[in-house]
Amino acid sequence: MEINKIKIPALLILFCLKVLESGVALGAEEKAIADTSAFLREATAIIAEGDKKFISKQGTDALIAKLSILESQSDLEAALKRARAIKNPFYRSLALGGIASGEIPVDPQTSAKHFREALAQAKEIKEYTGTHATSLRYLFELPPFYPQKEAHALLNDAMNAFATWDGSDVQKNKSLLSLAQATTAISPKDAKALLYDVALKSNHYWASNEYLATYMAQQDMEKALKLSNTHYTEHKDWPNDGYFRRAVLIELSKTDFPRAFEGIKKMQNLDQEIAAIKLAEFLLGESRKKEAEQVIHHIDSLKSDFNFTQSSLKKLYQSLEQGGLDTPDSNEFKPKDIDVFLKNPSAQNLQFFSLAEKIQFRDEVQIRAFISSSLPHLDELHDQGYPHHGSPSSMALGLLVVSSALIQDIPGAIELSKRIKIPELRAKFLLDAYEVANPMTEVVSNWPIHFWLHTHVQIR
């Protein structure tokens, strides 16, 4: 979903519908929550013993963050207390932000208060959590979902948090991209200032630079062409002015390839080479082979001795021969893939499924067949005593737990969970099972609160 192309009222309606569909906070049948509350109780009990029994202590705060977000659907005060007690400010801020997201449709003012609390906690982050320098990039995704009045106020708060958080440009780069996306959704008039005053000032902000430049081109192409050309010819922010210029020209190529191509040819030396490479990649990705071929031949004619250009040119010629760019293998399984598994189930293939990002079943019948075909092969998988890569048995069982929850087989899911030997993984999959039955908001579900891999299971 391109967030900048949806106005706030429509975005809020979509958000509310997601919550209504999931039965969260807006009066879902109490029976649905009661039926699945065993997942939450079991997970809570395991997490409470985490200091004594967990093999990997580092993931405990992630589990508590997810628990508090899910718990807020039925007991807000308990969830807030649990979230505020999390030791790591990265997960503490995500927990508070996740709780705030669920409150938006019902009480946006209280939600805004908890969002600001999350921002304050994020500013306390002083070191990396895994690969994450800060939680701000995730929190900045929330303001566009608020009603207009709160959204504008929270966007200002987000901008202040970004400006005052004591992190390097490298650490802030992804947060700025999220802030840029929120800005174009809430206050489009501020996009230019964010580009000129922030994004163009650091080479590490190239993604935000290109995003904002593309957005401005979509709003007013001629104005964006003029601004980017002036900025580029005056070399105000080299090399970032080149990113600005090429993003506008690539956007122009969607409707006027000859003009865009000529604009790139007028760029200087290495700027021209890189811009042409990016344009060729874009055209190949759009299956515009003839135009891509023109650009590739132009790159070749430059006779560059730059290693990046030479290696890129070789790949572009290979892609041209193959008819398009190579796309990475998708870590997603669809009903037809499950049909193949059902014809020849094996422990190895079950393990592949357990590491997937997304599994889409055709219907309840296929889920039941998948579970029953997998069960005989569980004894062939063995954990090695620690979470993550050395836990094939627990990971496979976890997938079956979540799949059982998807068809509302709560007793079956609980029984399967008892066979998971690694306690933190058992807690993880119980929380995942509860989330299947009582979803949190989609944006928050994509946050790093799942104690390692998170497989999205769904019925098509």
Dump the DSSP string for 229-241.
HHHHHTTSSTTHH
Which pLDDT score, from 0 to 100, does residue 330 have?
A: 63
pTM of the model: 0.87
User: Would you give the DSSP letter of residue 328?
Assistant: P
Which pLDDT score, from 0 to 100, does residue 155 have?
A: 98
Q: 105 exposed, middle or buried (CB, 10 Å; 0-12, 13-18, 19+)?
A: buried
Question: Is residue 398 a contact partner of residue 354, using CB atoms and an 8 Å limit?
Answer: yes
> In DSSP terms, which residues pair with 358 in a beta bridge?
332, 456
CA gap 175, 167 in Å, rounded? 11
Mean pLDDT by 10 residues, the chain (460 residues): 41 50 40 72 92 77 96 96 96 98 96 98 93 96 96 97 93 96 97 94 93 96 95 84 95 97 94 96 93 96 94 92 68 94 95 93 97 96 73 94 95 96 93 94 94 87
Selection from 72, 60, 129 nearest residue 106 by Cα: 72
The three-class DSSP label of residue 364 is helix
Tell me how far apart the terminal alpha carbons of the chain are, to the nearest angstrom.
19
Strands 456-459, 332-333: pairing kind: unpaired
Q: Which amino acid is at 361?
A: F
CA gap 402, 417 in Å, rounded? 9
Which pLDDT score, from 0 to 100, does residue 50 have?
A: 80
CA gap 333, 361 in Å, rounded? 8
Question: Is residue 185 a contact partner of residue 1, using CB atoms and an 8 Å limit?
Answer: no
Which pLDDT score, from 0 to 100, does residue 329 have?
A: 59
Which pLDDT score, from 0 to 100, does residue 301 have?
A: 95
Q: 49 exposed, middle or buried (CB, 10 Å; 0-12, 13-18, 19+)?
A: exposed
CA gap 12, 144 in Å, rounded? 8
- What are the C-alpha distances in Å from 169 to residues 128, 138, 160, 166, 194? 14, 17, 15, 10, 15
Which pLDDT score, from 0 to 100, does residue 15 have?
A: 52
